[in-house]
């Protein structure tokens, strides 16, 4: 676990030419996450809404007796919400936030496989012609005719943590 929660390095490849990743679909796009940070893949669980929390982490779930937030990275990419299907899964990942290991779930439409990405096939996100924030994308990797998006989770979680949500606690600023 300690190894797993190590920070996703700024340079994802970290000198390596290949990367083990888990690929999955969100809203028709294929994403990939470094396999070592993935803890577990779960069927959908009952979700508990946290009133006042940011929409990005609006729910918590019971992951083996731990209460962990469920993150919705669709919101970071401005994608439409999709209805849960029989293929929907939650990927539990371990990331570092401010130096502390944090478990979080990510809601996905379908999980594919663990595969190897080649550094040679990777490209940095294009600076124009993309509707997503470039800093949320670590790189795009070409496979066949498609691109796999490797999201930059650190950037996404940091940005979403800064954004002020639909806070109900107007009095909280004084505390």
Partner 1 sequence: MSFPDPIAVFRTEAAELLEQIEAGLLDLNVNLGDKDQIDAVFRGLHTLKGSGAMFGFEALAAFTHHCETAFDRVRKGEVPATQALVTAVLEAKDHMRALVETPAGDHEATSEALLANLRAAVDGAKSPGVHQAAAPAQTLFKIRFSLPQNAMANGTNPLPLLDELRELGECTIVADRSAIPSLDLLSPTDLHISWNVELLTSQPRSAIEDVFIFVMDDMRLEITVVEAVTAAAKSPEKPATPIQAAEPVAAEPAPVTVSAPRVPAPMTAAPAPTDAKANKASENVRVPAEKLDELMDRVGELVIAQSRLSQLAGGSGDLQLRAVSEDVERLSGELRDTMMVLRMVPVTQLFGRFRRLVHDLSHETGKMIELVTEGESTEVDKSVIERLADPLVHLVRNSCDHGLETPDERRAAGKPQAGRIMLSARQQAGEVIITIKDDGRGINRERVRAKAEASGLIQPNANLTDQELYQLIFQPGFSTAQQVTNLSGRGVGMDVVKRTIDALRGTINVISHPGEGSEISLAIPLTLAIIDGLLVRVGAGRYVIPLSAVEECLELSIEEDMRSRGRSFISLRDSLVPFLRLRDLFRTGTKPDPFQKVVVISTGSERVGLVVDQIIGDHQTVIKAMSKLHHDVATFSGATILGDGDVALILDVGHLVAEGQQQEAHLRAAG
- State in angstroms the smallest separation of the CB of 102 from partner 1: 5
Q: In Å, how far are 30, 88, 89, 143 from 109, measured between CA atoms?
A: 10, 4, 6, 20
Residue 66 found at the interface with partner 1 (CB under 8 A): yes
Among 28, 129, 144, 171, binds partner 1 (CB under 8 A): 171
Q: Is the dihedral angle over the CA atoms 133, 135, 138, 143 positive or is it negative?
A: positive
Nearer to partner 1, 122 or 165 (CB): 165
Q: In Å, how far are 38, 51, 99 from 96, measured between CA atoms?
A: 13, 24, 6
Among 16, 55, 64, 126, binds partner 1 (CB under 8 A): 64
Residue 114 found at the interface with partner 1 (CB under 8 A): no
Residue 3 found at the interface with partner 1 (CB under 8 A): no
Q: Is the dihedral angle over the CA atoms 132, 89, 114, 58 positive or is it negative?
A: positive
Among 50, 75, 140, 159, binds partner 1 (CB under 8 A): 50
Neighbouring-strand partners of residue 140:
123, 149
Distance of CA 174 to the CA centre of its chain: 32
Residue 103 found at the interface with partner 1 (CB under 8 A): yes
- Residues making contact with partner 1 (CB under 8 A): 46, 48-54, 57, 60-62, 64-69, 71, 97-98, 100, 102-104, 157, 161, 165, 167-169, 171-172, 175
């Amino acid at each position: 676990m300690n190894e797993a929660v190590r920070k996703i390095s700024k340079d994802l490849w970290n000198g390596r030419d290949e990367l083990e990743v888990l690929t999955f679909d969100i809203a028709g796009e294929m994403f990939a996450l470094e396999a070592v940070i993935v803890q577990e893949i779960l069927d959908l669980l009952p979700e508990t809404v946290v009133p006042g929390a940011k929409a990005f982490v609006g729910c918590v779930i019971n992951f083996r007796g731990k209460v962990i937030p469920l993150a919705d990275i669709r919101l970071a990419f401005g994608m439409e919400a999709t209805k849960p299907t029989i293929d929907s899964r939650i990927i539990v990942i371990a990331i570092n936030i401010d130096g502390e290991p944090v478990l979080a779930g990510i809601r996905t439409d379908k999980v594919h496989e663990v595969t190897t990405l080649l550094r040679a096939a990777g490209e940095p996100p294009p600076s124009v012609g993309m509707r997503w924030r470039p800093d949320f994308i670590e790189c795009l990797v070409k496979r066949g005719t498609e691109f796999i998006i490797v999201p930059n989770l650190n950037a996404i979680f940091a940005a979403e943590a800064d954004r002020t949500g639909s806070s109900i606690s107007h009095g909280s600023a004084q505390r």
